[in-house]
């Protein structure tokens, strides 16, 4: 489980001031990612965007993260933004690459380019992301913040001119 753990080691020297005690830890710190979904025009939060997190660029191998900080319950790889426009996954491990892909845009919006966003974590948890991606990291708190924007679907307008009385379309009409 994640959290703070205390380890006490008692070591007795064998004599001759020689020591062969070695301690190795394989408890890797885990990190959280918060995806913030916003309107491209006015930066308002968008509810209902669905994201998947994968370990490969083709987005075929899902990464299993947790939707709560205690890493309890079932692991998931898809997250949906709430009314605050945010979705958070817990359990990312340093030394791995993660690919975040928008699977569904909120109602009234469309997915901008469909390419996954690559987040590379080095062995100390420092992240690098694709150029042009809005990304912040707080290594001390073990958190990453990714902002993804969507443009609203363009509307359409149909104009027709009809002759009064008959309702038939007027010919050679220019607007």
Per-residue pLDDT reduced to its tens digit, 33-56: 999 999 989 999 999 999 999 999
pLDDT of 157 > 80? The answer is: no
pLDDT at site 111 = 87
What does the longest C-alpha to C-alpha distance in the chain come to? Answer: 114
Q: What percent of the chain has pLDDT over 90?
A: 46
What's the predicted TM-score (pTM) here? Answer: 0.72
Residue 85 banded pLDDT, cuts 50, 70, 90: very high
- The residues, ordered by sequence, that sit 6+ positions from 111 with a Cβ below 8 Å of its Cβ are 102, 104, 105, 150
Position 12 pLDDT exceeds 90 = no
Dist. CA 82–CA 35, nearest whole Å:
11
Write the DSSP assignment of 70-130 as a string of letters.
Answer: T--S--BSEEE--TTSEEEEEEEETT-EEEEEEEEPPTTEE-SS-PPEEEEE-TTS-EEE-
| Euclidean distance between CA atoms 41 and 98, whole angstroms | 28
The 3-state DSSP class for residue 135 equals strand
């Amino acid at each position: 489980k994640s959290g703070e753990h205390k380890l006490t080691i008692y070591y007795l020297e064998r004599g001759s001031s020689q020591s062969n005690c070695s301690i190795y830890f394989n408890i890797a710190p885990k990190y959280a990612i918060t995806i913030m979904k916003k309107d491209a025009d006015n930066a308002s939060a968008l509810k209902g965007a669905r994201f998947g997190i994968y370990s490969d660029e083709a987005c075929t191998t899902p990464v299993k993260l947790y939707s709560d900080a205690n890493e309890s319950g079932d692991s998931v790889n898809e997250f949906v933004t709430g009314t605050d426009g945010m979705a958070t996954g817990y359990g990312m491990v340093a030394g791995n690459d993660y690919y975040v892909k928008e699977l569904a845009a909120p109602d009234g919006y469309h997915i901008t380019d469909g390419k996954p966003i690559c987040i590379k974590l080095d062995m100390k948890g420092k992240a690098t992301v694709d150029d042009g991606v809005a990304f912040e990291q707080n290594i001390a708190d073990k958190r990453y913040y990714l902002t993804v924007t969507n443009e609203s679907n363009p509307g359409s307008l149909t104009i027709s001119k009809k002759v009064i009385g008959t309702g038939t379309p007027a010919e050679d009409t220019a607007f």
